[in-house]
Amino acid sequence: MTKWQCMLCDFIYDEAKGLPEDGILPGHMWQDLPDDWTCPDCGADKASFEQVNAGQ
Protein backbone atom coordinates (compact mmCIF):
# COMPACT_ATOMS: atom_id res chain seq x y z
CA MET A 1 0.00 0.00 0.00
CA THR A 2 1.28 3.43 -0.89
CA LYS A 3 0.37 7.06 -0.25
CA TRP A 4 -0.12 9.76 -2.85
CA GLN A 5 0.20 13.49 -2.10
CA CYS A 6 -1.53 16.34 -3.89
CA MET A 7 1.15 18.80 -4.96
CA LEU A 8 -1.33 21.69 -4.80
CA CYS A 9 -2.77 21.32 -1.29
CA ASP A 10 -0.77 18.48 0.37
CA PHE A 11 -3.80 16.18 0.77
CA ILE A 12 -2.65 12.56 1.21
CA TYR A 13 -4.49 9.64 -0.37
CA ASP A 14 -3.54 6.55 1.63
CA GLU A 15 -4.41 3.31 -0.19
CA ALA A 16 -4.56 1.45 3.14
CA LYS A 17 -7.23 3.82 4.49
CA GLY A 18 -9.11 4.68 1.31
CA LEU A 19 -11.79 7.37 1.62
CA PRO A 20 -14.77 5.53 3.14
CA GLU A 21 -16.73 8.79 3.47
CA ASP A 22 -16.53 9.06 -0.34
CA GLY A 23 -17.30 5.40 -0.99
CA ILE A 24 -13.66 4.37 -1.56
CA LEU A 25 -12.98 1.38 0.66
CA PRO A 26 -9.68 0.74 2.49
CA GLY A 27 -7.22 -1.08 0.26
CA HIS A 28 -8.37 0.69 -2.93
CA MET A 29 -5.28 1.07 -5.09
CA TRP A 30 -4.38 4.42 -6.67
CA GLN A 31 -4.37 3.02 -10.20
CA ASP A 32 -7.90 1.72 -9.64
CA LEU A 33 -9.33 5.17 -8.87
CA PRO A 34 -11.28 6.53 -11.85
CA ASP A 35 -9.28 8.69 -14.26
CA ASP A 36 -11.61 11.59 -13.53
CA TRP A 37 -11.15 11.31 -9.73
CA THR A 38 -10.16 14.62 -8.14
CA CYS A 39 -8.63 15.70 -4.85
CA PRO A 40 -11.42 15.99 -2.27
CA ASP A 41 -9.79 19.08 -0.74
CA CYS A 42 -8.86 21.23 -3.76
CA GLY A 43 -10.27 19.51 -6.85
CA ALA A 44 -6.89 18.82 -8.48
CA ASP A 45 -6.77 15.92 -10.96
CA LYS A 46 -4.77 12.71 -10.49
CA ALA A 47 -1.86 14.13 -12.51
CA SER A 48 -1.30 16.61 -9.65
CA PHE A 49 -0.41 13.80 -7.23
CA GLU A 50 2.98 12.22 -6.56
CA GLN A 51 3.77 9.03 -4.70
CA VAL A 52 5.03 9.64 -1.18
CA ASN A 53 8.29 7.94 -0.21
CA ALA A 54 7.96 5.16 2.36
CA GLY A 55 9.77 7.16 5.06
CA GLN A 56 7.36 10.08 4.94
Q: Is pLDDT of 55 > 90? A: no
Sheet arrangement for strand 49-51:
12-14, 3-6, 49-51
Overall number of domains in the chain: 1
CATH code assigned at 22: 2.20.28.10
Would you say 9 is a known binding-site residue? yes
pLDDT tens digits along 16-39:
999 999 999 999 999 999 999 999
3-class DSSP state of 22: helix
Would you say 42 is a known binding-site residue? yes
Q: What is the mean pLDDT of residues 2-7?
A: 98
DSSP 38-56: B-TTT--BGGGEEEPPTT-
pTM: 0.89
| pLDDT at residue number 53 | 81
Q: Is pLDDT of 51 > 80? A: yes
For residue 44, give its domain range: 3-52
One-letter amino acid at 22 equals: D
Cα dihedral 47→3→13→33 (10° resolution): 60
pLDDT tens digits along 34-48:
999 999 999 999 999
The Cα-based distances of 16 to 1, 23 in angstroms read 6, 14
